[in-house]
Structure 1
Amino acid sequence: MSASLLRPALVLGLLSAVGPFAIDMYLPALPVIGADLGASVPVMQGTITGYFAAFGLAQLVYGPWSDQVGRKLPLYVGLAIFLLGSILCTLAPTAGWLIAGRVVQGLGGAAVMVVPRAVIRDMHTGHEATRMMAAIMLVISVSPFLAPLAGAGLILLVEWRAIFGVLAVAALVSLAMTRLLLAETLPVAQRQPVSLRAMRDGAAKLLTHKGFMALTFLGGFGMASFFVFIASASFVYAEDFGLSPTQFSLAFAVNALGFFAASQMAAKLGQRFGAQRVMVRATAGFALFTIALFLLALGGVSGLALTMAGLFCANACLGLIIPTAMVMALEEHGPIAGLASSLGGTMQMLVGGAMTAAAAPFFDGTVLPMLGAIALCGLLALLLSALVARLPEVQASA
């Protein structure tokens, strides 16, 4: 990667990792926190869905705002809100307070999801943008490997509240990086005034653009499979597979490895074979692996090794789908990249939250309901990929 891409990719990747850290570091502690606060499994899953819901809805604010004032001010505000939420979680006396703190975290963390996407669109388009997105995902890949282990270690050495103390420190470091290392990428002359009419017109354009909608929801159902896994895995791996928090952290890292390894190949494969073609075929692979896993579990054939292997392969397919879908969805919408990023991110988060909430009543501590919900995500993504393959405007932008 060229030096012109390396530094911004590193900074944006570290900023973007704050949101995943707020989830990944917390996962091994879910059963422990539930026991300490006297909360049931559905209530503890609510601390995750509350975060995702706030994270998704807040993106509607940060994107248009960043189109008006530039990219850095929304990052400052979002990180400050995330810091406040982390402090609230650290001091939470009850599960209700913890959920409230997680919602505040989500409201702030949304900024470091939506604004970096717009920054990428400010700087690059096409394969260069996909390459930069993949580089950012490589930096973010630190989260599923180190964050759960760090969380498990803190549980053993101190207590679960220390996890949120670390997240508060991460917010402070991110504020310093934004101030010192991140350049403003949206010139004053290119900024768009925020008005209800402009937002309405921009949203109407995006919501009626077949390529944008198909790509957004295709990536959304892929991300929804992650959300279902995140909300269920710590309980499934502990209750059904008998893993300790540290063992779960290692298993979680292996499941994530396929995604981040494959994401580094997305730009090269897209340049060689065509981004749309790669994405459609990867979606077929994702559906194949997730549906096969569910059918095997339905027939009584399941286990830790099989589940991890199947999810590894499915996530590798997602590593080709998600960065490409993100870039292609924004490709034609440079003047409203912030709004497009925020609207797309909101819809994806709401899809993920809806899938997680729909799966919750069927959760019984075993792997079958989790795999069933993930397989449904794979099937819906497959149906959308057939639509994407027929869209001429998407083909043109690829």
Structure 2
Amino acid sequence: MALLPAIAPLAGGALLGAFGWRANFVVMTVFGVMATLLTAAKLSETLRHPDPQAANPTRILSNFIRMLQHPQYLGCALAGACAFCGLFAFISGSSFVLIGVFGVSEQNFGFYFGAPVIGYMIGTQIGGRMTRNYGITTILSVGTACLALAGALIAALAIIRVDHPIAVVAPMAFYMIAVGLVLPQTLAGALTPFPDRAGTASSLLGFIQMSLGAVVGALVAHLHDGTQVPMAAAIGVMGGLSFLMFQFVVKPAFRKTAA
């Protein structure tokens, strides 16, 4: 699964070169229809005793409010969302920057895009090994610090106009290693206070990440000025915000819970 985001741009570039840009949308439509049909046919309900009130809007809203009022949940959700927003900024702006600014071909774009994906794979593997000896806050401390450093590096290289694809891809790969450390731990930290409502907590977490990511991605696209600076600045800001959110919200919340 982790390799698919690296393979997809390569496949998309090949389809674009062979059949034109419409081919990618045809393939995505076919895969979407297949996934829907397979889910409906093969994925059965696992809940033995369904709650008839589970989808009640009032209950859902009440649960959401309760979760957002919990400092540990909110802090982990926002720290993870900021890290995710940096990724979304790269996804939104990388094609403009790498192809439009640096002249990378559509066929070769996937190779550059794949480097951060490999970074994410490395980060998740490191994070998995760290959980054997370290707790959530220790891993988040390392991960968010790396996010801030990588974000600052990619922003600095853009501001001083190091105009080369490696100046974007290399620090972004480092950023994605940190994302691989941070996202699983923020998920675990957010769900811990609500073990009996893990599904609701997880869905709200995903909503927060996707919503903020969409906003940041739209801003990067809107502010694109023919350089890598808007994208790089967004990544730098999001990495720094994730670090600050951990230091001033998540860490105190965990200390309070431990006490």
Query: Match of 2:252?
Result: 390
Question: What pairs with 1:138-149 in structure 2 (closer than 5 Å)?
Answer: 139=1, 141-149=2-10
Give the alignment's TM-score, normalised by structure 2.
0.90
**Aligned equivalents of 2:163 and 2:212: distance in 1?**
27
Query: Match of 1:236?
Result: 97
The partner residue of 2:169 within 305, 308, 314 is 308
Q: CA deviation at 1:321?
A: 0.4
Residues 1:206 and 2:206 aligned together: no
Residues 1:164 and 2:164 aligned together: no
Q: Contact 2:89–2:235 at 8 Å: present in 1 too?
A: yes
Change (3 A) 1:394 1:239: farther
Query: Match of 1:173?
Result: 34
Q: CA deviation at 1:178?
A: 2.8
Higher mean Cα deviation, 362-371 or 207-216?
Answer: 362-371
Change (3 A) 1:261 1:173: farther
Change (3 A) 1:186 1:230: same
Q: Contact 1:269–1:275 at 8 Å: present in 2 too?
A: no
The residue type paired with residue 67 of structure 2 is L
**Aligned equivalents of 1:374 and 1:212: distance in 2?**
23
Residues 1:325 and 2:186 aligned together: yes
The residue type paired with residue 245 of structure 1 is E
Q: Contact 1:151–1:163 at 8 Å: present in 2 too?
A: yes
Change (3 A) 1:197 1:234: same
Q: Which has the higher contact order (CA 8 A, sep 6+)?
A: 2
**Aligned equivalents of 1:181 and 1:320: distance in 2?**
33
Change (3 A) 1:209 1:393: farther
Q: Contact 1:286–1:317 at 8 Å: present in 2 too?
A: yes
**Aligned equivalents of 1:274 and 1:208: distance in 2?**
24
Q: CA deviation at 1:354?
A: 2.0
The partner residue of 1:358 within 219, 230, 243 is 219
Q: CA deviation at 1:218?
A: 0.7
Residues 1:186 and 2:69 aligned together: no
Q: Deviations over 1:264-318 (max 9, x none)?
A: 2323212311122101211001101111221232123342222211111111011
Query: Match of 1:133?
Result: none
**1:273 alignment partner, SS class:** coil
Q: CA deviation at 1:170?
A: 1.6
Q: Contact 2:117–2:173 at 8 Å: present in 1 too?
A: yes
Query: Match of 1:270?
Result: 131
Q: Contact 1:229–1:374 at 8 Å: present in 2 too?
A: yes
Q: Deviations over 1:20-54 (max 9, x none)?
A: xxxxxxxxxxxxxxxxxxxxxxxxxxxxxxxxxxx
The residue type paired with residue 169 of structure 1 is V
- CA RMSD of the aligned region, Å? 2.1
Query: Match of 1:344?
Result: 205
Query: Match of 1:151?
Result: 12
Q: Contact 1:270–1:276 at 8 Å: present in 2 too?
A: no
Q: Contact 2:93–2:220 at 8 Å: present in 1 too?
A: no
Q: CA deviation at 1:335?
A: 2.9
Unaligned runs of 5+ in 1: 1-138
Give the alignment's TM-score, normalised by structure 1.
0.60
**Aligned equivalents of 1:206 and 1:323: distance in 2?**
18
Higher mean Cα deviation, 208-217 or 142-151?
Answer: 142-151
How many residues align structurally?
Answer: 257
Q: Contact 1:216–1:329 at 8 Å: present in 2 too?
A: yes
The partner residue of 2:160 within 296, 299, 304 is 299
Change (3 A) 1:395 1:295: farther
The partner residue of 2:149 within 288, 295, 300 is 288
**Aligned equivalents of 1:191 and 1:269: distance in 2?**
41
**1:391 alignment partner, SS class:** helix
Q: Deviations over 1:206-229 (max 9, x none)?
A: 110111111111111111111111
The residue type paired with residue 103 of structure 2 is G
Q: Deviations over 1:324-381 (max 9, x none)?
A: 2122212232332232222221111121122223334431121122111110101111
Q: Contact 1:283–1:317 at 8 Å: present in 2 too?
A: yes
Quick one: percent identity of the two aligned structures? Answer: 28
Q: Contact 1:279–1:320 at 8 Å: present in 2 too?
A: yes
Q: Contact 2:17–2:107 at 8 Å: present in 1 too?
A: no
Q: CA deviation at 1:182?
A: 3.9
